[in-house]
């Protein structure tokens, strides 16, 4: 059996991002097993949920399910059911049926109707007896981009527990974070994000999951979240921080709150009862202004 390392750091690429895994006080065998588990789960989720990979089940469903009942695997069915529950909990602000609108975001007008096209809201219909799915209209297609990282980190958390790893830090693309135990030099894992002016907000994490979602992404700050109620790009400068025990719930809630109307914040958050929520607006000066805060 190999000696226990003070810490190991591994970067694992997949699902259009990179997962950084820092393990404290584990053997080489344990670190290797953890890495292999992450890689296997990444590969499984990509083959299941990608809407771009022709070999993925979601890609196939998007081609077949327009007004046609389409059978799905047990794995995809379970995720579809969970997403339907999240849709109800978030008052419709979390919606996995927006693939068409994201694909055509640049041509979608500012409202539900515009030009010669009248847009129908996406609707996914589930047949619970036969475990089939169909789309009610041509403007519906599956997009699991807002939940994929949360699903992976949920599996990671289970594996960390199974391997009896007590102290670790996991960052998936910098916006989805999972922590266990303590930082080697302190009582908690400090996590911060800052704006272009260097103003930073620091959060101290132990056994927590964090999801940070914004209306804009990338160096070019492109708007990428569709408001499912108004069927248009969310063009605010909103940035949402959610801390919860479950990385999947944190991911869903942070995405929903980017699109949600402010007067719906309390109702949506009360459905989840997370540990903490902070909502910021990035002003024209690039300074972050906190506009909402919740702590359980």
88 and 225 part of one domain: no
123 and 172 part of one domain: no
161 and 277 part of one domain: yes
Sign of CA dihedral 135, 136, 138, 139: negative
199 and 272 part of one domain: yes
290 and 208 part of one domain: yes
Q: Are 295 and 275 in contact (CB under 8 A)?
A: yes
Is 181 within a domain?
Answer: yes
- Name the band, by pLDDT with cuts 50, 70 and 90, for residue 177: very high
Q: d(Cα 195, Cα 137) in Å, to the nearest integer?
A: 40
65 and 127 part of one domain: yes
38: its two tokens? 């992450």
Number of structural domains, the chain?
Answer: 2
Q: What pLDDT shows up at residue 115?
A: 45
* Average of per-residue pLDDT across 258-265: 93
Query: Angle, nearest 10°, between helix axes 247-259 and 265-272?
Result: 170
97 and 162 part of one domain: no
* Average of per-residue pLDDT across 157-167: 95
pLDDT tens readout for residues 28-61: 999 999 999 999 999 999 999 999 999 999 999 9
- Name the band, by pLDDT with cuts 50, 70 and 90, for residue 108: low
73: its two tokens? 């695997």
14 and 121 part of one domain: no
DSSP states along 40-80:
HHHHHHHHHH-SS-TTSHHHHHHHH-BTS-EE--HHHHHHH
11: its two tokens? 């970067």
- The helix (H) or strand (E) run that includes residue 36 is helix 28-49
- Name the band, by pLDDT with cuts 50, 70 and 90, for residue 117: low
Q: Which residues make Cβ contacts (< 8 Å) with residue 128, sequence separation at least 6?
A: none
Return mean pLDDT, the chain. Answer: 87
- Name the band, by pLDDT with cuts 50, 70 and 90, for residue 114: very low
- Name the band, by pLDDT with cuts 50, 70 and 90, for residue 113: very low
Q: d(Cα 263, Cα 279) in Å, to the nearest integer?
A: 13
Is 240 within a domain?
Answer: yes
Q: Is the pLDDT of residue 112 over 70?
A: no
> What is the pTM for the complete model shown?
0.89
Is 47 within a domain?
Answer: no
Of residues 286 and 218, more confidence is placed in 286
Phi, psi angle pair for 132, to nearest 5°: -120, 165
Is 48 within a domain?
Answer: no
- Name the band, by pLDDT with cuts 50, 70 and 90, for residue 149: very high
Containing structural domain, residue 118: 59-135
- Name the band, by pLDDT with cuts 50, 70 and 90, for residue 121: confident
Q: Is the pLDDT of residue 291 over 60?
A: yes
Q: Are 5 and 32 in contact (CB under 8 A)?
A: no
Is 79 within a domain?
Answer: yes
95 and 218 part of one domain: no
Q: d(Cα 84, Cα 78) in Å, to the nearest integer?
A: 10
Q: What pLDDT shows up at residue 223?
A: 57
- Name the band, by pLDDT with cuts 50, 70 and 90, for residue 110: very low
């Amino acid at each position: 059996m190999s000696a226990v390392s003070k810490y190991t750091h591994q970067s694992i690429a997949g699902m259009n991002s990179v997962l950084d895994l820092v393990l404290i006080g584990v053997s080489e065998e344990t670190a290797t097993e953890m890495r292999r588990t992450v890689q296997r789960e990444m590969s499984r989720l990509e083959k299941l949920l990608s809407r771009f990979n022709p070999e993925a089940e979601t890609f196939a469903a998007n081609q077949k399910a327009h007004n046609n009942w389409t059978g799905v695997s047990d794995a995809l069915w379970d995720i579809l059911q969970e997403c339907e529950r999240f849709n109800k909990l978030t008052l419709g602000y979390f919606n996995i049926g927006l693939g068409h609108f994201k694909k055509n975001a640049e041509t979608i007008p500012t409202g539900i109707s515009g030009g010669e096209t009248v847009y129908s809201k996406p609707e996914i219909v589930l047949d619970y007896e036969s475990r089939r799915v169909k789309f009610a209209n041509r403007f519906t297609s599956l997009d699991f981009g807002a939940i994929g990282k949360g699903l992976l980190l949920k599996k990671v958390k289970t594996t960390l527990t199974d391997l009896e790893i007590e102290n670790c830090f996991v960052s998936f693309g910098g916006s989805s974070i999972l922590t266990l135990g303590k930082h080697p030099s302190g009582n908690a894992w400090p996590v911060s994000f800052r704006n272009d002016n260097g103003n930073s907000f620091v959060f101290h994490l132990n056994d927590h999951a964090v999801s940070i979602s914004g209306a804009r992404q990338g160096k070019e700050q492109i708007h990428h979240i569709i408001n499912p109620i108004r069927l248009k790009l969310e063009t605010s400068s909103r940035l949402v921080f959610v801390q919860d025990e479950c990385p999947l719930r944190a991911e869903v809630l942070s995405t929903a709150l980017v699109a949600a109307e402010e007067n719906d914040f309390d109702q949506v958050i009360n459905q989840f009862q997370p540990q903490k929520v902070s909502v910021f607006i990035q002003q024209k000066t690039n300074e972050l202004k906190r506009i909402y805060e919740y702590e359980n």
